[in-house]
Amino acid sequence: MSTQPNVLLISTDHWPAALLGVAGHPVIQTPTLDELARSGVRFTNAYSECPVCIPARRTLMTGVTPRIHGDRVFRATLPMPNLPTMAQAFRGAGYQTYAVGKLHVYPQRDRIGFDDVILDEEGRLQYGVVDDYELFLGDQGYAGCQFDHGMSNNQYSSRAWHLSEETHATNWATQQMSRIIKRRDPTRPAFWYLSYRHPHPPLVPLQTYLDFYQHISIDTPYLGDWITDSEDVAYSMQANYSRGAKINIDQSLAARRAFYALCTHIDHQLRIVIGTLREEGLLNGTIICFTSDHGDMLGNHNMWAKRLFYEYSANIPMILVDGTNGKQIGYDCVDDRLVGWQDVMPTLLDMANIDIPETVEGFSMAGHQKRDWFYAEVGEDDHATRMIHDGRYKLIYYPVGNYSQLFDIQNDPNELDNLVGNPNYTNTLKKLTNLLISQLYGGDETWVQDGQLVGLPDKEFISGPNKGLSSQRGHHWPPPPQTNMPQIEWFSENKE
């Protein structure tokens, strides 16, 4: 029998750090994650280096930032960089390595070092792959039916899941991971990666969980004092306002209810995975990490989805539970160090006593190392946005229009008061601006003249048509023809 700890890494998609009961959220029900947080360490200042799916996952699996791995946009057909991956590092140390769910790499069947990947790619048939979840639905008599609910992958309409409960992607991923745990080689340690696709839209929770929230008052979105006329804000913000303008308050609350239902569903399904570890006698020897690639604005500041550096989009959950009865990192702890997805790989390798590849930029959260600031970036077009955070103050910069925002996250966690222009924070603004300038690369340097941020000329956002309904999928049986894929607009809004 192996004496090395097993490692279970759990990631979700679109889950803000605030959506945990243990974080003080007034509505969300997350009893499992709350208990895990009390059994380990919850990092409150965890951020996504690039809050959009593919770039974030490249950082997770390589331990490097977008500057190194090459994507700060959403390059759907960009192969993984030639760097050691987390799975390769574990496998090189003798671990069996398996992944279930959303991997989001190209080519889609690239295992990036895992022994096997049981794949759910959210119906991306345009890349020539029928994933394992689609195959499962076909085996159950529902071939091509996963999107017959009619909801879009990047919009906020909602309804209940349209097929039987056991066919929901959250249940499927849970069952697949539980089976992999049971089928492990007992003579070797294991690294398991469980990647849930939700609460990312489509917002199609089980009716059970919609009913669960039916009699709970849903919290309304909050608005910063800086929200005035949409024409007075940065171009990229105007674009997001345009999206939010289509959603009235009733629809907003319905979307939040469905989103919370998806979160609680995942939380409850995690109990099955943990129960499987316990019944297999593995729980006390398994390191657990729960996190998310980014969050979702959910209507706060009149904004939705991700690609933004406000807290609900960029601040992510990070819970770490030791596999040696708390001897290494303790339990019921809250850590306010600045951490990100670049730190997950070195942390898990360090806790398993495996050498960390020299290519890794992040540090082990199990140690005491601390960074003084955190830089994050998204986009290279007119919607580009940058962030610098020093642990208390956060600077968000939009180059188009040369628009900056400064927030005191410690005293104003909802970012209601933009401190730019407040003379009491002139030195703080200058310090963070200079830090941000020092991190610019890849063409961003043109935003600077004579040591000052000048950005790019302002422009007015004009909303165009959205005939593709923000990446709406269709009926997938028979699979859509591959020969016409280059002509189809798959990423019309939000490019995902």
pLDDT, tens digit (0-9, with 9 covering 90-100), for 133-158: 999 999 999 999 999 999 999 999 99
Q: Which whole number is the average pLDDT over 181-200?
A: 98
| Strand arrangement, sheet containing 41-47 | 116-119, 96-101, 190-199, 6-13, 286-292, 318-321, 41-47, 333-340
Q: If we measure between CA atoms, which residue out of 74, 87, 265 comes closest to residue 165?
A: 265
pLDDT, tens digit (0-9, with 9 covering 90-100), for 9-26: 999 999 999 999 999 999
pLDDT, tens digit (0-9, with 9 covering 90-100), for 33-42: 999 999 999 9
CATH number where 77 lies: 3.40.720.10
Residue 145 maps to a domain:
yes
Give the three-state DSSP class for 426: helix
For the entire predicted model, the pTM comes to: 0.96
Residue 410 maps to a domain:
no
Task: Check pLDDT > 70 for residue 495.
Answer: no
Distance of alpha carbon 118 from alpha carbon 395, whole angstroms: 40
Residue 323 maps to a domain:
yes
* First-residue to last-residue Cα distance in the chain: 44
Residue 429 maps to a domain:
no
Specify burial of residue 123 (Cβ count, 10 A radius: 0-12, 13-18, 19+): buried
Give the three-state DSSP class for 302: helix
Residue 72 maps to a domain:
yes
Percent of the chain whose predicted confidence (pLDDT) is above 70: 95
Residue 423 maps to a domain:
no
Its domain, for residue 172, covers 6-372+472-487
Structural domains counted in the chain: 1
Residue 69 maps to a domain:
yes
More confident residue, 57 or 229: 57
- pLDDT of res. 132: 98
pLDDT, tens digit (0-9, with 9 covering 90-100), for 442-465: 999 999 999 999 999 999 888 889
Residue 496 maps to a domain:
no
